[in-house]
Amino acid sequence: MMEATQEMERAMVGSLLLDPRRIDEIDGRVSCFDFEDTELGALFDLIVTSHQAGVDVADPAAVLREARNRGLPRRVTEVGFFAQLYQEYRSSNVHYYAAQLKRASRKRELLQVSDELRTMAEDDSKDPSQIVRWLEAATAAAGSTMGDSRRERRYCDAADEFARQASDPHTAGHGVMTGILSVDQYVGSWHPGELVILAARPGMGKSAFAFQWAKWIADQQRSVLYVSLEMTDTELAGREVCGTAQINNRKIRCGLVGQDEARRLQQTAVSAQQAKANLFLWSPARASIQQIRAVAKRVQAAHGLDCLFVDYMSLIDAASKNEKTWEQVSRISRELKAIAKELGIPVIALCQVNREADGAEPRLSHLRYSGSIEQDADGVIFLHRDMDATQEWRYDQSVQVGADQERLWKNETRLIVAKHRHGEVMHTKLRWVPRLTKFEDIPTCIAWS
């Protein structure tokens, strides 16, 4: 069975190399994640993306050079391996190969679901209703294909589906909100397939706002994956634990935590096991867009997935060492949007703005390489804070650091919705509380741009 699958996968790749015109015919029906041989899947992804970028993949030297530039595994970049792929397979069978490859992929997914179902069913701590909900999400993910969403449909069918979803109470609220009343009341929710960019200069609280957003979604019994390429999962969780326990993180870093505070931290961590059970953190030292997609698909298959956060875009590995920066940003932006559509979830991606935004209210033109990001994004949210004009100091009587009382810095932050493909742009003010790494509403501060 395994040998037959691997042979089919080699046949798939060889057919596309032999006749690149077939790539457009099977586009969307098969992805690199359908390959059992992950190294061959990486080569398949390179062939498809290279063809879409205008590279002549019928030229073995060009493909081999591109594969080595992208750092693909040595086995699939050897001259002899390439020669075998070009010589042994027929492009006329590409549709059959695609169908068989997809069939084998879905069967592997179902076998994985079966194994995990048995493990969950044997766990006495799992509630049957919880297992059923998980099974419904897992089988739905295993039964869906990227190709299904890409096939042409009649307008009347799409309109009918929209009307049914809008009137169905189970799907009408499927979008995700921020949990900030002044934002959600006027912007509404972000829906499956949408890419939202959260941008600001360094130090404005992008990660804090994004993680607060992710936690709030998880509190609504939704499944969230937070990918952090900047902080470790322990650091992220530590922010939440300190904020909930009302303990300044600086005291921990200074080694000034007393017994009572240590007990509160432990109690908070224990309670989070239930409250945040569906918030998943992934904090690799580095990751490519393909790896992020793979982890998101794994979480979706195992637990269901309602939203993906990526913190942040500039730290995602380039696909090619020869790519210019603007090409990297453009590709990553397009692929994040593709992930949103493929998995049927909103994707919130963090990015920085240019230095031109220092001291000025950020605009869309301040996004780094804004042409591609602005085009792909369904929404763009900026955070901006005038450090000199808005800072306010006061004493917090409830916090002690050694013998001195700690001063709490409260700050007004402007949240600007600069683009909203399905609604109006607006701005509002939030209160930033650094000690708790938390944003709070400031009532009646909403304005339309």
Distance between CA atoms of residues 47 and 297, nearest Å:
22
- Contact status, residue 201 vs residue 353, Cβ threshold 8 Å: yes
- Is the confidence at residue 211, as pLDDT, over 90? yes
**Backbone φ, ψ for residue 224 (5° rounding):** -130, 140
**Backbone φ, ψ for residue 415 (5° rounding):** -105, 125
- Is the confidence at residue 395, as pLDDT, over 70? no
Domain match, 153 and 193 both: no
Listed in order, strand segments (DSSP E) in 8-144 are none
- Is the confidence at residue 93, as pLDDT, over 90? no
The last residue of one of the domains, among 105, 122, 146, is: 105
The residue segments making up the domain with residue 397 are 181-448
Listed in order, strand segments (DSSP E) in 150-249 are 195-200, 224-228
For the stretch 298-337, pLDDT in tens is 888 778 899 999 998 988 887 666 667 777 888 888 889 9
Share of the chain above pLDDT 70, in %: 75
Number of Cβ within 10 Å of residue 240's Cβ equals 21
The last residue of one of the domains, among 76, 105, 134, is: 105
| 425 Cα distance to chain centroid | 23
Domain tally, the chain? 3
Distance between CA atoms of residues 342 and 43, nearest Å:
20
- Is the confidence at residue 46, as pLDDT, over 80? yes
Residue 189 contacts by C-beta under 8 Å, 6 or more apart in sequence? 173, 175, 176, 177
User: Could you tell me if residue 216 is inside a domain?
Assistant: yes
> What would the mean pLDDT of 14-34 be, rounded to a whole number?
82
User: Could you tell me if residue 174 is inside a domain?
Assistant: no
Residue 247 contacts by C-beta under 8 Å, 6 or more apart in sequence? 257, 261, 264, 265
State residue 251's pLDDT score.
65
Domain match, 439 and 380 both: yes
Domain match, 401 and 262 both: yes
Domain harbouring 408, CATH code:
3.40.50.300
User: Could you tell me if residue 175 is inside a domain?
Assistant: no
3-state secondary structure of 427: strand
Domain match, 426 and 341 both: yes
CA distances from 391 to 21, 112, 243, 247, 432 (A): 60, 53, 21, 22, 10
Domain match, 86 and 195 both: no
Distance between CA atoms of residues 24 and 228, nearest Å:
34
Phi-psi region of 402 (alpha: psi -120 to 50; beta: other; left: phi over 0): left
User: Could you tell me if residue 176 is inside a domain?
Assistant: no
User: Could you tell me if residue 298 is inside a domain?
Assistant: yes
Number of H helices, E strands in the chain: 18, 11
Q: Which range scores top for mean pLDDT: 151-160, 251-260, 434-443?
A: 434-443
263 CB burial (10 A radius; 0-12, 13-18, 19+): exposed
Domain match, 99 and 116 both: no
- Contact status, residue 265 vs residue 242, Cβ threshold 8 Å: yes
- Top pLDDT among 148 and 78 is at 78
Question: pLDDT-derived band of residue 400, with 50, 70 and 90 as boundaries?
Answer: very low
State residue 325's pLDDT score.
74
- Is the confidence at residue 221, as pLDDT, over 80? yes
Domain match, 50 and 123 both: no
Domain match, 87 and 151 both: no
State residue 159's pLDDT score.
74
CA distances from 320 to 66, 328, 352, 433 (A): 8, 8, 22, 41
Q: Give the residue among 61, 251, 223, 215 at the shortest CA–CA distance from 136.
A: 223
Domain match, 237 and 383 both: yes
The last residue of one of the domains, among 59, 85, 105, is: 105
State residue 368's pLDDT score.
66
Domain harbouring 60, CATH code:
1.10.860.10
Within 13 A of 104's CA, how many CA atoms are on the CB side?
Answer: 22
Domain match, 315 and 376 both: yes
Q: Give the residue among 31, 417, 438 at the shortest CA–CA distance from 198.
A: 417
- Is the confidence at residue 410, as pLDDT, over 60? no
Average confidence score pLDDT of the chain = 78
- Is the confidence at residue 415, as pLDDT, over 80? yes
